[in-house]
């Protein structure tokens, strides 16, 4: 009995030590300073470019976390994980009241807050390769959002996620982004694989840099794995041989057989893509080299 109690006591102590260590190391990592050289960009003020910024906000996943009005919302509340995206209007509880253009660019493109610390959970890797023109249009739209009261940022991570983050098993956006790359040059929106590759940047946060899917790092256990978008084994794209079938899926959130795809996929955003972007994305996915599902 004494040995049993000692072993149990040792296990409890070990668990406490692991928990404290994970908390301290993950907190230190979240509070590190990430030096980045932020380039100046022009922010347009003409209605057409602001409207384009609204289109980008609505179709690239921003509304999934910050809501249609930018006031923020609860993104995850499952398995001990709570993620509340903040209000990015200038209303009550705003996270961006003092943001200048350079602060928007640093956060969107580099995954770094104005104080130099990394953003957590926000997939800035999806937006790191936006052109200056599109980044400027997006910032122009965000700057003119009506000031509304909204949610205050909150992130509570369970111990396993903290531990994986602390040891590098889960990376924040600032770790994934190559901050030395210059922004890409603007190109005409057209139904081409080249434009589709540009649109596909909005998919890498979940589907991975190679778009082969797999477990989404740091996601709650209840979330399904992201689909393999390459033509490799287990590819979801086998169901969508034509652009029409692909567009129908984006618009409806359903597979060709009528079954519903997990709502983790941001159909509310991607379903609003115009036909040019959606068809270009499909054209690009057809050109990917095959990879087994989850191979990054």
Q: Using an 8 Å Cβ cutoff, are 232 and 290 in contact?
A: yes
Predicted pLDDT of residue 5: 54
Which runs of consecutive H residues, i.e. helices, occur in the chain? Answer: 2-30, 47-59, 62-66, 101-110, 132-143, 159-166, 173-176, 193-199, 204-207, 243-252, 267-270, 275-285
Predicted pLDDT of residue 234: 84
d(CA 153, CA 74): 9
Q: Using an 8 Å Cβ cutoff, are 249 and 240 in contact?
A: yes
What is the average per-residue pLDDT within 168-195? 95
Predicted pLDDT of residue 81: 95
d(CA 70, CA 94): 10
pLDDT at 228 over 60: yes
Q: What is the pLDDT confidence band of residue 21, given thresholds at 50, 70 and 90?
A: confident
DSSP per position, 151-165: PPPEEE--HHHHHHH
Predicted pLDDT of residue 23: 79
């Amino acid at each position: 009995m004494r040995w049993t109690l000692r072993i149990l006591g040792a296990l409890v102590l070990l668990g406490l030590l692991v928990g404290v260590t994970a908390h301290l190391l993950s907190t230190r990592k979240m509070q590190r300073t990430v030096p980045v050289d932020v380039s100046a960009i022009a922010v347009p003020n003409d209605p057409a470019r602001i409207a384009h910024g609204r289109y980008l906000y609505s179709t690239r996943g921003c509304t999934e976390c910050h809501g249609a009005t930018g006031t923020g919302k609860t993104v995850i509340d499952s398995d001990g994980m709570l993620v509340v995206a903040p209000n990015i209007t200038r209303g009550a509880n705003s996270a961006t009241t003092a943001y200048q253009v350079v602060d928007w660019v640093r956060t969107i493109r580099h995954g770094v807050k104005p104080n130099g610390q990394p953003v957590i959970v926000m997939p800035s890797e999806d937006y790191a390769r936006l052109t200056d023109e599109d980044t400027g249009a997006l910032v122009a739209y965000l700057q003119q959002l009506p000031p509304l009261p909204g949610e205050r940022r909150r992130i509570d991570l369970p111990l396993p996620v903290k531990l994986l983050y602390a040891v590098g098993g889960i990376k924040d956006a600032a770790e994934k982004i190559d901050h030395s790359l210059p922004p890409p040059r603007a190109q005409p929106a057209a139904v081409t694989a080249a434009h589709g590759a540009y649109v596909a940047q909005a998919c890498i946060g979940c589907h991975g840099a190679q778009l082969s899917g797999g477990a989404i790092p740091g996601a709650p256990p209840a979330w399904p794995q992201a689909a393999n978008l390459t033509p490799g084994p287990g590819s979801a794209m086998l169901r969508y041989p034509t652009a029409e079938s692909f567009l129908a899926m984006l618009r409806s959130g359903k597979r060709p057989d009528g079954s519903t795809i997990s709502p983790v996929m941001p159909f509310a955003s991607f379903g609003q893509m115009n036909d040019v972007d959606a068809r270009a994305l499909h054209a690009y996915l057809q050109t990917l080299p095959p990879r087994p599902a989850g191979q990054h």
